[in-house]
Structure 1
Amino acid sequence: MSIRFEASWCGSDLGGHRPCPNTYERYSHDSLPPLDERRFKGTFEWLGGSTGTSTDRVTELRAVTDELDLKGLSLPQDFITYFTSANLRDVLGDPWLTCCWNSLSKPIPSPVEPGAYLVRFFRDQQDCVLWYFYLRPGSSAFVVHSHLEYEYEYEAHHSGGECNGDSDIDDLDEQMEALQYCAPTFEEWAYRFWIENHISEAVASGDKPSSDEDVDAYLNHYRTSRQHLPSV
């Protein structure tokens, strides 16, 4: 039986709509605005669609996909479309408030499940949070997040060096806490990350978030939730 991860969204401040005392906080999936799954077809129409191909990115990706092929695993097609697209490849890595960017790793063994692997695809500049694909043989990839940089953790573990703080790569309970389910597909993760960063940027600059239809719908979830809070 496959391991079941705790689910949370790692996000930042949305002002009065969803305060965040630190750079990032974990939020339960039940508290998030729901997304219409029918909208996410792997084509990124909400970003204008994919046009052109970056040959450099194709080459970079091939080094990872070739290694995954040997393990009977593959990256999700929506990520391949995004990563190799000439017009989409850096849209999530723009200089947002939290300064995150694309960061592709080679396959990393899962610390909690034999035969499964992680591939890091995005990270915060200070490694406060890193996002990975979680890959299992015979099943679809999904997105997880962690405060641990697992490439470094394994290197330090095998060399006998110090890991990140008191992290123990062999401690199953600790790793199950550190590694949490984030989103069912890359495109759904990308959409939520993109829209929340637009809102966070406006909040940080003292502006109102744009009256874009998507932003309004997203924030309306929090407005409605506040209206239904019990009075004290």
Structure 2
Amino acid sequence: MPAEQSGSDLSSVGFDSAWCATDLGEYRPCRYTYEYYPYESLPPLDSTDFTGTFQRLGGTGETAPEQVRALNRLAENLVSKGLTLPRDFVAFQADSKLHCSLDEVSVTCCWTDISEPLPSPVEPGAFLVRFLRDQQDCVIWYLYLRPSGEAFVVHSDLDYEYEYEAQRNGEQTETNLDDPQEQRAAILWCSPSFGEFAHRFWIENRLWHALRGNDLSGLEPQMRDYLRHYAPPGIPA
């Protein structure tokens, strides 16, 4: 499914869409560590949750000064390029309670790793900002920031920070950053906002833990509904 059908105008970029994640037990199998699931197959999320307060993730705590300084440096760099960070991303990453919450819940040992702005290899004036990566770099998630002000989440198996550094040093890699068609195929759209990405990632990883522990008794109604979306006949949610 082209990403533009999911509410983002990506016709000039040409990204396809897919949600990259692991299994949800027998409700949603996974052949390997990760699977690409069609975005349209995912359970819908309640848009009223995306207010920037992240209440479903436990809400905000105190501001982390070190994180604020790092985000300010990143924001200044982006301003010089005519771009801004999404408010929900800033609120999440500047918060001492939320900043590493995705790391803590991740069942595949993903960890927060925010990069400097990296030029989009497919769209002049657009930039990528890496924010989360798998421990073995099987998948890396980025903010995709467009000159129009649009911001959404994409993922790739390429570490573009490494790729650009290798290119500057004259090193050969397995991808060609100067081939837009190849790069479009290497980047997949997965969420219309950082807030939605964080909620879905958090929900799915919590569900994985509950399913592995064979204890669904403590799940909130929203999480039960999420699982029910996948429930095959004969398996209660």
Alignment TM-score > 0.5, same fold = yes
Structure 2 counterpart of 1:207: 214
Q: More displaced, 123-132 or 167-176?
A: 167-176
Identity %: 49
Gaps of 5+ in 2: 1-10
What CA deviation, in whole Å up to 9, does each residue of 1:140-172 have, x standing for no partner? 210000000000011112222132xx2221222
8 Å Cα contact 1:96-1:201 kept in structure 2: no
Q: Paired residue for 1:193, among 185, 190, 201?
A: 201
Gaps of 5+ in 1: 228-232
Q: TM-score scaled by structure 1? A: 0.91
Structure 2 counterpart of 1:133: 143
Matching of residue 58 in structure 1 with residue 65 in structure 2: no
Q: Paired residue for 1:151, among 134, 155, 161?
A: 161
Structure 1 counterpart of 2:230: 222
Matching of residue 12 in structure 1 with residue 25 in structure 2: no
8 Å Cα contact 2:115-2:131 kept in structure 1: yes
Query: What is the CA-CA distance between 1:63 and the residue it aligns to?
Result: 1.6
Matching of residue 167 in structure 1 with residue 178 in structure 2: no
One-letter amino acid of the structure 2 residue matched with residue 113 of structure 1: E
- SS of equivalent residue, structure 2 residue 183: helix
**Aligned equivalents of 2:73 and 2:214: distance in 1?**
43
8 Å Cα contact 2:109-2:134 kept in structure 1: yes
One-letter amino acid of the structure 1 residue matched with residue 12 of structure 2: S
Matching of residue 36 in structure 1 with residue 46 in structure 2: yes
Matching of residue 180 in structure 1 with residue 188 in structure 2: yes
What CA deviation, in whole Å up to 9, does each residue of 1:156-196 have, x standing for no partner? 12222132xx2221222221111011101111000100011
8 Å Cα contact 1:108-1:150 kept in structure 2: yes
One-letter amino acid of the structure 2 residue matched with residue 159 of structure 1: N
**Aligned equivalents of 1:19 and 1:74: distance in 2?**
38
- SS of equivalent residue, structure 2 residue 144: strand
Query: What is the CA-CA distance between 1:105 and the residue it aligns to?
Result: 0.3
One-letter amino acid of the structure 2 residue matched with residue 173 of structure 1: Q
Describe the shift of the 1:217–1:95 C-alpha distance in structure 2 as closer, same or farther (beyond 3 A): closer
One-letter amino acid of the structure 2 residue matched with residue 207 of structure 1: N
Q: TM-score scaled by structure 2? A: 0.89
Q: Paired residue for 2:94, among 84, 98, 102?
A: 84
**Aligned equivalents of 2:200 and 2:57: distance in 1?**
13
8 Å Cα contact 1:142-1:183 kept in structure 2: yes
8 Å Cα contact 1:118-1:133 kept in structure 2: yes
Q: More displaced, 42-51 or 6-15?
A: 42-51
The Cα RMSD (Å) is 1.5
**Aligned equivalents of 2:120 and 2:199: distance in 1?**
26
